[in-house]
Structure 1
Amino acid sequence: MSISAAILAARSGLQVTSQKAEIVATNVANASTPGYVRRSLVVGELVQGSQTSGVVSLGVSRAGDDIIKGQRRELTSDVAQATVLASTWQSLSQRVGSTASGTGLFNTFSNFESALRASVTSPESTATATSLLDAAKSVARELNSLSSYAAQARAEADSEIAQGVETVNAALKQIQDLNKRISSIDRTSEQAATLMDERQRVLDTIAQYLPIQTVQREYGAIDVLTPEGVYLINGSTAQQLQFSPSSTFTSEQTLADGDLSGISVGGINLTPGSTSFGAVSGGMLGALFTLRDQDIPAFMDQLDMVANDIITRLSDDAIDPTKTPGAQGLFVDPAGSGTLGLASRISVNAAVDPAQGGQISRLRDGLEATTEGPPGNSSILSAMFDAFTQIKSMNSNGIQGAFSASDLAAQLSSVVGQKRVHQDSVLASTQAQHLTLVEAEQSQTGVNVDQEMESLLLIEQAYAANARVIQVARDMISILMEL
């Protein structure tokens, strides 16, 4: 090798090691940057004619494992879904209360039963009658409040679906733009690597809302589709999800009746739970549709069942001889429009409520009593207590067994609590799996600062060696010039 060839080879080595040092510095600087993928310089042999003339940079490569990345992204959707469901059921469970803490729905039923028992013992006491009336109002208010809370949760789920659709649509357009930019530049450049990192972050955002897969296309672009095979980005065109949020929200509105909107793309129904082949099964959108159209309506049906049970129990004609046969008893449905939404309407009969023009003595004497009866007569109160505590068999709305009215309220609290525990368990499991894959992906694509520092030491040695070659060549040239 001639002196000039040695200088050129060493010069190429200096250039490549300089580029390597720059890549290492970039890696270290972005070690904690979310979504950053470790870079490395691809180096090749520089050949001129049949002779090796040094080294040449062939571009920048990004570390990665497509299989792990796909699995991690799938679990990102699962974690997002489990988080929404667990959070909602924790809120519902806390609002309903539990028998262990003695709060919420069970507490109001238990207090009413205690007040009813005390009234049987002291039918002549106005204070006891007032306590019974207050306890009855508390039962009605609690059922009203829980029904309103559940309806609001449905409305919030509908609103969050709309927000999620906007986020996904914006992300799809962003990926469409990134595809075009990546396709127009050298895919081995540092700029392309940066754009690919950004595209990865956007994909992860979409994955939180619905499961996705990607297919590599020519020139560095990607297609995005659901696991069911519905394209969200096909070629250079991003599709847009379609969803219409509800402006009003009542318990009577359902997806099946067309009162609420589903979600679609390109005319394909993606609505979770639908019979369409493209129905989404995960992500935040999957969870929100499940809550809006299945879980919360089922909970509201259970509340209506509890409300109907207490109305029916205390409307038995055998309890109150003064009541018109078939008329409602202490608890009433003012609208009289069936069980749908009953928990939101249940109230105390105005006949016993002085605030509504009634007389509190009618708790003891009968709902349609025109005059006060004997102060010590507890027959109606006793009949009410017996009806309230009577064990009845039920098998409806996911509740099966034999219950008194208080037992039924306790059972509903237990069912909600079990649902919360189940969702918490699912969340813990998916989070553990997700964390495992995040760590596995990080080991493949993340920056290990210690390793980068080791690489920097090798780069320093290579740089010094190439510089030494040039120095020696310079000294040899100087000697030759002196001859």
Structure 2
Amino acid sequence: MSLSGALYNAFSGLKANSRAAGLVSTNISNATTEGYGRRTLGLAPGAVGTTGGVRITGTVRHSDPVLTGDRMMSDATLAHATVGFEFASRIEDLVGDSGTPGSLTGRVNAFENALLTASSNPASTQRLELVANTADSLARALNGLSDEVQSARQTADNRIAAQVETLNSALSRLDSLNDNIVRAGSTGTDPTSFYDERQRVLDSIAEIVPLRVVERKKGDIAVFTRGGAVLLDGRPFEVGFEPNHAIGPGMTFANGDLSGLTLNGVPVDTQGMSMFAGGSLAAQFEIRDVDAVERQAQLDGIARDLIERLGPGGPDTTLAATDPGLFTDGGSAFVAADETGIAGRIEINALVAPDSGGAWRLRDGLGAATQGDVGDARLLQGVSEALSASTVPASGGLTAIARSFANHISEFASSAVGERVRAENAQTFVSIQNTALSEMELSKGVDTDQELQRLMQIEQHYSANAKVMSTVDSLLERLMSI
């Protein structure tokens, strides 16, 4: 080999070593950066007609698209499970621990105990007032639960709107990155930073909806949901949603009161959510249109059962058929056709409300014109018996099994606990799975120990090439001195 050939080979090696050292430095500095793909230098033998050496073919970005896809799918599944767990936990907290003061079951127990205490001494105004206070507390507890359920629906609607906005913004950003990658490929510039940014954008929306990414020949990608909806393919598709700023118990998607999704203006089936199923977006729709609606129906069934047990035809014989009973629909008599939302409207009859001065009517009857025998406990005992009686509820929101009122409350509380436990178990399982996939993905990323070893090898190669150049320089000096 000629001296010039040796010099060329050593120079090409030094140039490659310099670039490789820079990539190692970049890898180490970005070892914990999300979306970053480890870089190595692409090398090939010297071009035909040269004496050898190496030539740089570009920067190679290492990634495992299958593992990354599985991890993104797991991100969506975890987000879906987390949303469900948070809602179930919220309902359980509002219902409270069974039997504890302030819990729903605790308020029912307090009301029943107050009735028993008052029936043992019906002449005591203080004991009658305690009945009024505990009845009012029970009605307010149902009001609060109903309000919180509707608040959860409103929160879900707001989050849907925010996630749709995030999704559209990310799709627009992915479209720009596709253009940058294609342009970099045609001009010969390094596109790896665009790949990293594109992965970060994909990760930012992977929790919202499960994604399927297809890479095209020029390096650009098409993005679909796992259910088959096109999000990006040559151009971004626009996801549409109209938020509602005041959701009430009777408002549902099925009757057209609430908005669903559209894709480029075409309505998407958000009831089945087949095209957008699996992520946090679908979970919010489930809360707004299914889970919270079912909880509201159960609460309405409980409120209706309480009203009807103590209304006309019940223990108080002073009530006419159209009179409001001990519990009312916002002060009026309850009508079965208006059951939806009754849990938010139920309140104690104003005639016996706390501090109204009419507590004696709990003993003598709501329709009584004057006070009767102060020792007569029959009505108080009748109210207690009506609550304890096992009857089949008229509401479709409750299980059609004969139960006492307290048992209906217990069933509701137990279902809240059971749903939270089920949601927590599901969330724990997918969380463990997600952590395992994330760790597997990280294991294929930057290993700083390996990078440092690689840097030592580069240093050795650099020294060897530098020694060749130094030797060639000495030989050329000797030739020039002859």
Task: Answer yes or no: same fold by TM over 0.5.
Answer: yes
Which structure 2 residues correspond to residues 16-55 of structure 1 after superposition, within 5 A?
Answer: 16-49=16-49, 52-55=51-54
State yes or no: 1:329 paired with 2:325: yes
Question: Alpha-carbon deviations, 1:89-136, whole Å to 9, x = none?
Answer: 111211111216454211111111111111111111111101100000
Give the gaps of 5 or more residues in structure 2: none
Q: Is the 8 A contact 1:98 1:410 kept in 2?
A: no
Q: What is the distance in 1 between the residues matched to 2:229 and 2:151?
A: 32
Cα distance, 1:248 vs. partner? Answer: 2.4
| SS of aligned partner of 2:231 | strand
Equivalent residue number for residue 251 of structure 1: 249
Question: Alpha-carbon deviations, 1:427-461, whole Å to 9, x = none?
Answer: 111111111111111112x2111000000000000
| SS of aligned partner of 2:40 | strand
| SS of aligned partner of 2:320 | coil
Equivalent residue number for residue 475 of structure 1: 474
Equivalent residue number for residue 349 of structure 2: 349
Equivalent residue number for residue 154 of structure 1: 153
State yes or no: 1:203 paired with 2:202: yes
Equivalent residue number for residue 130 of structure 1: 129
Equivalent residue number for residue 70 of structure 1: 69
Which structure 2 residues correspond to residues 418-457 of structure 1 after superposition, within 5 A?
Answer: 418-444=418-444, 446-457=445-456
Equivalent residue number for residue 183 of structure 1: 182
Residue type of the alignment partner of 1:246: N
| SS of aligned partner of 1:25 | helix
Q: What is the distance in 2 between the residues matched to 1:29 and 1:131?
A: 69
State yes or no: 1:90 paired with 2:89: yes
Equivalent residue number for residue 373 of structure 1: 372
- Cα separation, partners in 2 of 1:373 and 1:48, compared to 1, 3 Å: same
Equivalent residue number for residue 9 of structure 1: 9
Cα distance, 1:312 vs. partner? Answer: 1.2
Q: What is the distance in 1 between the residues matched to 2:149 and 2:314?
A: 35
State yes or no: 1:314 paired with 2:307: no
| SS of aligned partner of 1:4 | helix
Q: What is the distance in 2 between the residues matched to 1:421 and 1:211?
A: 25
Question: Alpha-carbon deviations, 1:192-212, whole Å to 9, x = none?
Answer: 111111111111111111111
Equivalent residue number for residue 293 of structure 2: 297
Equivalent residue number for residue 414 of structure 2: 414
Q: Is the 8 A contact 1:38 1:447 kept in 2?
A: yes
Cα distance, 1:401 vs. partner? Answer: 4.5
Q: What is the distance in 1 between the residues matched to 2:327 and 2:17?
A: 85
Q: Is the 8 A contact 2:132 2:354 kept in 1?
A: no
Q: Is the 8 A contact 1:393 1:401 kept in 2?
A: yes
Q: Is the 8 A contact 1:40 1:60 kept in 2?
A: yes
Question: Alpha-carbon deviations, 1:370-416, whole Å to 9, x = none?
Answer: 11111110001111100111123459436465432122112111111
- Aligned residues: CA RMSD: 1.9
- Cα separation, partners in 2 of 1:188 and 1:132, compared to 1, 3 Å: farther
Question: Alpha-carbon deviations, 1:157-208, whole Å to 9, x = none?
Answer: 1111111111110000000111111110138977411111111111111111
- Cα separation, partners in 2 of 1:292 and 1:162, compared to 1, 3 Å: same
Give TM-score, length-normalised by structure 1. Answer: 0.95
Q: Structure 1 residues 404-413 or 66-75, which shifts more?
A: 404-413
Identity of aligned residues (%): 35
- Cα separation, partners in 2 of 1:15 and 1:124, compared to 1, 3 Å: same
Count of matched residue positions in the alignment of Structure 1 and Structure 2: 477
